[in-house]
Amino acid sequence: MIVSPGSLRTAASNLARKLVYGHVADLRPTPARTVGAGPRTTPVYRYRGLEGVVAAGPPVLLVPSPAAPARCFDLRRGCSLAEHAVNAGRLCYLLDHGAAEWAGEVLPEAIRTVSRDASGQPVQLVGWCLGGLFSLLAAADPDLPVASVAMIATPSRVVEPGPVRAARRVKRDYRTLANLDKTEYLAQAEALDHFHALAEAGSGRPAQEVYSALLGDDGEIGIALDAVRVPVLAVAGRADALAPVTAVRPFARLLPNAPEVRFAAVPGGHLGALTGLAARTTTWARLDRWLDEGIVRHGIRPHPRRAHARRASRRGPATAL
């Protein structure tokens, strides 16, 4: 194998950064501020928009799985769905659960909080894994201001995970050495390690247990889904062992009263389908089109605070308090 001088320089630079700083990835979270909290002190965050950009359209609420860290939506700079949504000019929020049992109280209150903060607009829910299912259950409540639901890696039935390979850590170390000249690969590997470390440090109820508690007699999710009357997007990762295509596709028939149920299969596993290196051009591109259609359905209404700030900037500098 012929190694170019450029590859050697990149490998040396990456190795130096790992030795000096301990990492290559930029793991800083996307800037956000708290806008509300649920009945169990569960915070809702609003991501900070780009300077000079007035967010418009229905707000987007990212709903993680209670069994995993909320950082799934904000894995690292350059490969963060939250960062991507903000850069696209969306008014984007995050429900940072911190607890396993919150579907009946915390999520509905978070939806109301986001709607109030966005001048009463209906909320577009984007849920990953179990967060997608809870988003569906919230959409089944006609009193909640839900505009649509996008589910990523959300199975309609319990899927038993396969055996964990004992040599995974050794293989990861070997691949790191073999890919020292590939900065994106190294950064993604570090971000995944960081995410899994957060997951192991948490104490969430396993997703399989929650799904088992919600199973119908036919072995599939069936609770209140016939009451869902908003558009639904279901995305499955082709390499996902926890939510395979065969477990996601049935939502098309489990939501008989939804005006639209759209299914898509994308590259990646359970987390990779959401925020893998290929997600930018696959999952995120599909999600962008889905959310843009929501703007068409519900109209363009700029966030009142940001619109006021823009008008004030045209009049002149604001007076400091």
pLDDT for res 13: 58
pLDDT digits (tens, 9 = 90+) for 94-104: 998 654 455 56
CATH 1.10.1740.10 fits domain 30-159+205-311: no
Which residues are CB-contacts of 64 (< 8 A; sequence separation ≥ 6)?
Answer: 70, 72, 73, 94, 95, 96, 97, 127, 128, 129, 131
Phi, psi of 277 (to 5 degrees): -65, -30
Residue for token pair 């069936």: 222
The three-state secondary structure class of 5 is helix
Domain ranges of the chain: 30-159+205-311
Predicted confidence (pLDDT) at residue 181 exceeds the cutoff of 80: no
pLDDT digits (tens, 9 = 90+) for 145-162: 999 999 999 998 877 765
Segment among 88-97, 185-194, 249-258 with least mean pLDDT: 185-194
pLDDT for res 102: 57
Mean pLDDT of 51-62: 87
pLDDT digits (tens, 9 = 90+) for 301-313: 655 554 444 444 4
Predicted confidence (pLDDT) at residue 250 exceeds the cutoff of 50: yes
For residue 3, name the pLDDT band (cuts at 50, 70, 90).
Answer: very low
